[in-house]
Amino acid sequence: MKALVPCPHHAVTRSKSKFIEAWGTLGSSWGVPRTMAQIHALLLVSAGALSTEEVMESLQISRGNANMNLRNLMDWGLVEKELHVGERREYFKAPKDAQYIARQVAVQRKKRELEPMLRVLQELQGVEGADADTSQFRGQIGDIYDFALQSERMLNLFISSQQNWFMKALMKLTGKK
């Protein structure tokens, strides 16, 4: 099965390619390797599970690159391995639920960005000194730490939400229906 190779003029094929390219660009803006984001996008828009070979062919990437990024996507909880009876190949699929995807990304970003920052800020709050500069520094760090803690609480609410109640509440806050 060639995921994106059918007729090059087919509107859906062009649209899928455009989505994969855009998702890859956005992914690199979010700190995710471009190829990892492109593989995720390919699996998101594929009707069924794809083999490593199909991913390689569709995105014109090496086996090592495909394997490494598929492994990373599985670590993030964004891709699942699927075994087909009687086949030696491994197949991969991506959960399609947008809120699930957002929660998984939030979990990873929290672990990789917010938690290390909270540890540093907490440590910096203990800086010693009685002068005005130290006092100002502690105050600024304290404000940032408090904001980061509030952000972590909101993120934890979002991550633990299993229903779309969080999105509905957020839409009410932003005035959208």
Q: For 91-107, what is each residue's pLDDT tens digit? A: 999 999 998 998 999 99
Structural domain of residue 104, as residue ranges?
98-175
Same domain assignment for residues 14 and 89? yes
Q: H helices of 87-126, where? A: 98-109, 115-124
The count of domains in the chain is: 2
Q: Given this model, what pLDDT does residue 172 score?
A: 72
Q: Which two three-digit tokens encode residue 105?
A: 């990304």
Indicate the residue type of 52.
Answer: T
Q: Do 87 and 23 belong together in one domain?
A: yes
Residues 13 and 88 in one domain: yes
Whether residue 159 sits in one domain with residue 106:
yes
Among 93, 128, 159, residue at a domain's last position: 93
- Specify the pTM: 0.78
CA 157 to chain centre: 17
* Of 20-34, 57-71, 107-121, the least confident: 20-34
Check whether residue 113 and residue 64 sit in a common domain: no
The amino acid occupying position 85 is V
Boundary (domain end) residue, out of 93, 117, 149: 93
Whether 58 and 3 have beta carbons less than 8 Å apart is answered as: yes
